[in-house]
Amino acid sequence: MRTIKLGTSTLEVPVVAVGCMRINSLDKPAAERFVQTSLDEGANFFDHADIYSGGRCEEIFADAIHMNDDIREKIILQSKCGIRQGSFDFSKEHILSSVDGILKRLKTDYLDVLLLHRPDALVEPEEVAEAFDQLESSGKVRHFGVSNQNPMQIELLKKAVKQPLVANQLQLSITNATMISAGINVNMENDPAVNRDGSILDYSRLHDMTIQPWSPFQYGFFEGVFLGSEKFPELNQKIDEIAARYNVSNTTIAVAWLLRHPANMQPIIGTMNIERLQDCCRASDIRLTREEWYEIYRAAGNVLP
């Protein structure tokens, strides 16, 4: 598996991260096979969140991987906190208690990465900074980042937070590419020209902040998977054509499309299917041409100015 540096850190991470939001759908033997296959593929970066099945997914993962000191040294663990039932909470008290719960469920003494999970309208950067300082000094968290935040929200945090924010999880796929389309359609009077995220893509590249695309196969907001969907005939025809050219699956090409972007993204894949997991990992070895990348972009219904 090809690796990249996570943001400005020295942490080497695989270009494909394994999302564990749905691991509670597997029984124990299947979960054990899944995590072992991930390790065999070199996909040793596992993404969690305390909200996933109320923390149950973290417990299932720890049991499935048979967490111990030897295993812990071979994997990279990321989790997220800040979402509560009906609200968001970036208070110092909540961040600290959330991390303690995450560590207990994952059966580990530390997280490699902690992300703030979506923006909190009531955030007080000074409280976040105090929490991060305490987590870093205690050794409970080594690196920090955010999820679904725009440049000014990140800058507001950085007003108080001294630790580098190394990653930002953002929804991005071939069919959910507004952050790319806005940059292509600058100064145009069309819908793709609307800047919906404050130029987060360019901001991330300027500040060496790794974008972690979530739902890389979804269209809309969890409306369905575009691969094989009758709603996207032209897109699927083009992806299948290019997949045949490389002798890989359509899944591989969909991930390779994200990896081809020079921002050095790290897609978070959410499949619990071992074959699709392996197909995602194969994207590490595929580098689409510029022409192929734009052909797929246009086939998704995106029009170039």
DSSP for the chain, please give it: --EEE-TTSS-EEESSEEE-TTGGGS-HHHHHHHHHHHHHTT--EEE--TTGGGGHHHHHHHHHTT--HHHHTT-EEEEEE-EETTEE---HHHHHHHHHHHHHHHT-S-EEEEEE-S--TT--HHHHHHHHHHHHHTTSEEEEEEES--HHHHHHHHTT--S-EEEEEEE--SSS-HHHHHHHTTT-SSGGG--SSSSHHHHHHHTT-EEEEE-TTEETTTTEE-TT-TT-HHHHHHHHHHHHHHT--HHHHHHHHHHTSTT----EE----HHHHHHHHHGGG----HHHHHHHHHHTT----
Residue pLDDT, tens place only, 178-219: 999 999 999 999 999 999 999 999 999 999 999 999 999 999
Whether residue 278 is contained in a domain is answered as yes
For residue 223, pLDDT beyond 90:
no
Is residue 9 one of the residues assigned to a domain?
yes
Model confidence at 221, pLDDT cuts 50, 70, 90, reads confident
- Is residue 144 situated within a structural domain? yes
pTM across the whole model = 0.97
Give the pLDDT confidence score for residue 65 in this predicted structure.
98
Q: Is the residue at 305 inside a domain? A: no
Domain membership flag for residue 220: yes
Total domains present in the chain: 1
Q: Report whether pLDDT(231) > 90.
A: yes
CATH classification at residue 73: 3.20.20.100
> Which pLDDT score, from 0 to 100, does residue 173 have?
97
- The tens digit of pLDDT for each residue in 250-277 reads 999 999 999 999 999 999 999 999 999 9
Domain span holding position 20:
3-299
pLDDT of residue 42: 98
- Burial per residue of 274-304, b for 16 or more beta-carbon CB atoms within 10 angstroms, e otherwise: eebbbbbbbbbebebeeebbeebbebbebee
> For residue 222, what pLDDT band results from cuts at 50, 70 and 90?
confident
Q: What is the pLDDT of residue 220?
A: 85
How confident is the model over 93-118, as a mean pLDDT?
A: 98
Q: Which residues are catalytic?
A: 52
Mean pLDDT of the chain: 97
As a whole number, mean pLDDT of residues 89-110 equals 98
Residue 304 falls within a domain, yes or no?
Answer: no
Count the Cβ atoms, other than its own, within 10 Å of residue 10.
Answer: 7
Query: Is residue 76 predicted with pLDDT exceeding 90?
Result: yes
